[in-house]
Structure 1
Amino acid sequence: MQREFVGLTHLEGLLGYTLRRTQVAISRSFVQIFSDLDVRQTQLGVLNVIEGTPGLKPSQIGALIGIKRANVGPLLDELERRGLVRREPAPADRRSHALFLTEAGAALMTELHRREAAHEERIATLLEPEERAVLLRLLRRVEQGCRDMADEEAGPEGDDGL
């Protein structure tokens, strides 16, 4: 006898719940592919941004990929301890730091990009190319809409959430 789970049926109809379950499944796949390199998704995002735009300040990186200010410092400290990132005084503001990949960081990025492509391909095979494009567009619209709502609720004096 199969029993209907009304609570689960309710949850499966919620965008937030379904997005979270999807994110957890994708994260598990990520861990399988990257765990031996000891790289987490957030670290990969930071390394990608630094590689693509060297010289950014920590606050800029946090804002670009949605990391809270309180979390950017410890994350960069860890990447620096591992010899992947270096901080230099920012040319325009000596009180701040500009971030760059080290040689070891740049070398690691070659392997990270290879695995990143494999991970993305692994997920992309679940959708037709047109479906993937539509899904990305819809997810970006939901993200931006949620950010806009949060900004409106915070008001002009509100916290920027970083």
Structure 2
Amino acid sequence: MTTLDLSSHPGPLARRFQQAHTLLWTTMVSEEVTSPQFAVLNSLVGEEGLDQRTVGERVGLDRSTIAEVIRRLVVRGMVDKIRDPRDGRRAALRATDEGVRVHKKLAVRTARMNQLFLSPLAPSERTVFVELLCRVSDAAEQLRHPTQPIG
């Protein structure tokens, strides 16, 4: 039986890309705060009072993952959960002073890491690359949560 050459298949390439990102993140940005945790902090620094579901949608994390990320950020004192007085089932989230401080520090490191990560590409290629990643990611998200039946 003939094997497939997976060197140009999106799945293995995405895995390699993610592994490289994780390596750069832990060496250049933070060993303590993960990339998903930073994404949540970033979302909350930009707009406080969001609920867990909204933050998860904005940063591309499923329900169980966002719950765990937020739990860890709360335990570490970077995020507060405040019960909505009008709806006791809803908790509004906000970055604490510590969360804002950590975000500010890591935002600078993240920018440097992204420059290095995308350095094999020319500036115009970087823009196209990110646009293409967004398009494929958005389409994949539609497969997970279709607004209308496929077929």
| TM-score of the two chains, using structure 2 as the length reference | 0.87
Match of 2:9 among 14, 33, 58: 14
Which residue of 24, 27, 30 maps to 1:32? 27
In the alignment of these two chains, the number of paired residues is 149
Q: Deviations over 1:62-117 (max 9, x none)?
A: 11112111222222111111111111123553321111111111111121111111
Give the corresponding residue for 1:97: 91
- Whether 1:122 aligns to 2:116 is yes
Match of 1:85 in 2: 79
Alignment of 1:1-162 (within 5 A): 7=3, 10-36=5-31, 38-90=32-84, 92-152=86-146, 155=149
Amino acid in structure 1 at the alignment position of 2:18: Q
* Equivalent-residue separation in structure 2 for 1:120 and 1:154 (angstroms): 36
**Partner SS, residue 79 of structure 1:** helix
CA-to-aligned-CA distance 1:134-158 (integer Å, 9 cap, x gap): 11111111112222334449849xx
Could you say which structure has the larger radius of gyration?
1
Letter in 1 for 2:12: Y
Stretches of structure 2 that go unaligned for 5 or more consecutive residues are: none
C-alpha RMSD over aligned residues: 2.2
Moved over 3 A (4+): 149-156
- The two structures have a TM-score, normalised by structure 1, of 0.82
**Percent of residue pairs identical:** 28
Within 2, Cα distance between the matches of 1:68 and 1:77? 14
Measure the CA separation in 2 of the matches of 1:28 and 1:35.
10
